[in-house]
Structure 1
């Protein structure tokens, strides 16, 4: 598969088949991920894979909690939130055979001093985001679907994901990536804005 094909086929997949994702496929995803650029060469990322039935169920519930928090943040009425939660769980939205949580270690940094806290964290998060994109493009090549979950970063939920991963407070969650074989036809969506609308030469 050519890179351009993988880029154009990549899309957010929210419904997955029950078929397991093999350890070999997971390793291939992580091998692609860690080829991404990493600020100051720190490689201060960690990829925690939740594959056991118990761990997957807990992550799935936490995603549901995060979605509710998101809906409240955009001021949806509770009755509508209840219906949306029912749709998520009854339809199996985001239920996947594997979840990859991507963390960065706040304590591993290049520049010392509190004045660099914000930029060091930004660089680390950017590095992890680049790794996630590599992972997602490799998934396309392997016939797997992925979707980026950011709602697990809400306060109170991130801590539970970190605890489930067995990590200390120095680890910050960047996102959770459900991984599996897509259920149904995958249709990449067109972008709302054209290249000309988002491109500027100076």
Structure 2
């Protein structure tokens, strides 16, 4: 598969087949992820693969709860949030055989001054985000689907995901990625903004 094929065929997959993902493919995803650039060469990331069925059930609940909080903050009514639950989440949206939590260690730093703490945190988040993209592109090549979920980074939800993995508070969840074989047709949608709208050459 050409890189361009992986880039242009990647899409957010929200429904998955029930079959499990082979361990060898999971390792290939992480091997691709850790080839991403990493600020200051810190490699202060950790990829937690949640495969346990009971943990998976709870993670699916967490994803709904985090989305509900997100939509409440956006002003969506409780009635619409309930419809979201019954019509979408209970029908399997984001229910995957595997979830990968991508964490960074906030205490692993290169520059020791307090004035650099915030920017180093941002660099680590950026490094993890690039690793997530590598992982997602590799998934396309392997016939797998993925979806980036950011709402689980809200503190109460990422706290529970940390505790599931027995991680301390120094670990920050950059994103949660459901992984599985797509149960929906892969049909990438065009971007809302054209190239001309987002490109400035000076």
Structure 1 Cα separation of the partners of residues 66 and 87 of structure 2: 15
Q: How does 1:8-157 map to 2 (within 5 A)?
A: 8-157=8-157
Q: Structure 2-normalised TM-score?
A: 0.98
Please give the TM-score of this superposition, normalised by the length of structure 1. 0.98
Counting matched residue pairs gives 202
Q: CA deviation at 1:90?
A: 2.2
Unaligned runs of 5+ in 2: none
Distance in 1, Cα, partners of 2:20 & 2:89: 20
TM-fit CA distance, 1:10: 0.2
Contact preservation (8 Å) 2:13, 2:184: no
**Correspondence for 1:4:** 4
SS at the partner of 2:88? Answer: helix
Question: Is there any run of 5+ residues in structure 1 with no aligned partner, and where?
Answer: none
Aligned with 1:133: secondary structure? helix
Query: How far apart in 2 are the matches of 1:132 and 1:73?
Result: 26
Distance in 2, Cα, partners of 1:177 & 1:49 = 10
Q: Provide the aligned C-alpha RMSD in A.
A: 0.7
Q: Give the whole-Å Cα distance in 1 for the aligned partners of 2:89 and 2:120.
A: 38
